[in-house]
Amino acid sequence: MPSSTSSSDGVRRLAWLGGAVLVFLLLNALARFGEQQRWLRTGDPAKLVAQRIQSVRNGADVWVCGNSLVEHSFDAELARTLDSQRYATVILGSATLEATAMVIGRALDESQTKPRNVVVVISKDDFNRNGTRGESSAQYLQAFQPPSLRTRISSWIPIHELRSSIQLRIRKTLTSLIKGDPRSEAKALPPEAFAALQSGKDDPVWIAKQITESYLANQGRDFIFNDSGVSNLVATCRKHAVPLTIVLPPVSKAVAEWHDTRFPNQRWETLRKQVLTGFQQPGVRVLDWESALPSNPKVFVDPYHVHLTLRSHLTQWYVRELTPAPSRPAAREDKR
């Protein structure tokens, strides 16, 4: 230590640094607490996958798996009231097809009873090997590999380990400060939403606006069709002798139109046919609802996601298709 000045001077001078480290440690403790309380998504890949498959590990008849599209189109609680089967969801935010297949494989390995049906809800961007989802999915895939040195070090610093979740929270807060919370907007919409559903009209102005203003995944990236994801998913379910149902959920026309503008030589309709052909295999059923809803702002919160309030409506579609034929319920009116 410097001899020219006393150590008490040093302590006084560098006290702020100690204080800063203390603030940092407190923030880390807060982040860990947030993770335990499930306010923040865990950053430990193994823990994350374990959390995600917890709901199906103890046994459910139908597993509905996929990314945020599941959250916006299916309500497991409501499904249980409409059908005698036990429904459970596995929501893997931003997961690619490969990651989804691996997680489903682990869940099937670990579950005490095999499901009657595995339903996977996927959309256009899950088929892109080159998209941003590939990066987002890395966390799921890491759960299947031994932890790297970086992962082990980051587990000592909760803020770093939970960074994706914290950053997402910050971004969402920022966005809601500027634009308002889209979910609160969704809650206020049911009557108009249902009216719009019945009218069945597209809103071309809204579609154009979404194409120009909304963030659509894979911006600036080429679309490289992920055919191995398709075969991996089919192989996983076949290995466990579980039937697979693929759902292409309703998305707005802005998705396809944006894609066709960006990739004129690789039109979405062509790729879609490739997807449908890829899944034309024994034991696999495809429910193609992609264009089932009108593309307008009363129905869609953004180009991919329907308003949360329409979940009840779409849940009935799932139940109608997934209930075994003899016990299939008669068409029921919407309860919500």
Q: Which two tokens stand for residue 2?
A: 């410097």
Residues 249-308 interacting with another protein (rule: CB under 8 A)? 257-258, 261-262
Under 8 Å CB-to-CB from 129, ≥6 apart: which residues?
96, 224, 225, 226, 229
Per CB under 8 A, the segment of 87-95, 106-114, 212-220, 278-286 that binds another protein is: 212-220
**Binding status of residue 19 toward another protein by CB under 8 A:** yes
CB under 8 Å to 134, separation ≥6 — which residues? 96, 128
> Which is it for the CA torsion 74, 80, 85, 88, positive or negative?
positive
The helix (H) or strand (E) run that includes residue 49 is helix 45-57
Cα–Cα distance measured from residue 248 to residue 119, given in angstroms and rounded to the nearest whole number: 11
Distance of CA 71 to the CA centre of its chain: 7
d(CA 235, CA 229): 10
Q: Looking at beta carbons only, is 23 or 276 nearer to another protein?
A: 23
Binding mask 66-105 for another protein (x = CB under 8 A): ----------------------------------------
Residue 180 touches another protein, criterion: CB under 8 A: no
Question: Minimum distance from CB of 72 to another protein (Å)?
Answer: 18
Residue 168 is a binding residue for another protein (CB under 8 A) = no
Of 59 and 204, which CB lies nearer to another protein in the complex structure? 204
Tell me whether residue 178 or residue 331 sits nearer to another protein (CB atom): 178
Query: Considering only residues 58, 81, 138, 153, which one is a binding residue for another protein as defined by CB under 8 A?
Result: 153
What mask, x for binding another protein by CB under 8 A, covers residues 101 to 140? ----------------------------------------
The rounded distance, in Å, linking the Cα atoms of 75 and 22 is 43
Residues 6+ apart with CB under 8 A from 230: 97, 127, 275, 278, 279
Nearer to another protein by Cβ, of 263 and 317: the residue is: 263
Alpha carbons 126 and 278: distance in angstroms, whole number = 14
Binding region for another protein (CB under 8 A):
2-5, 9-10, 13-17, 19-24, 26-28, 149-150, 153-154, 157, 159-160, 163, 166-167, 171, 174-175, 177-179, 208, 211-215, 219-220, 257-258, 261-262
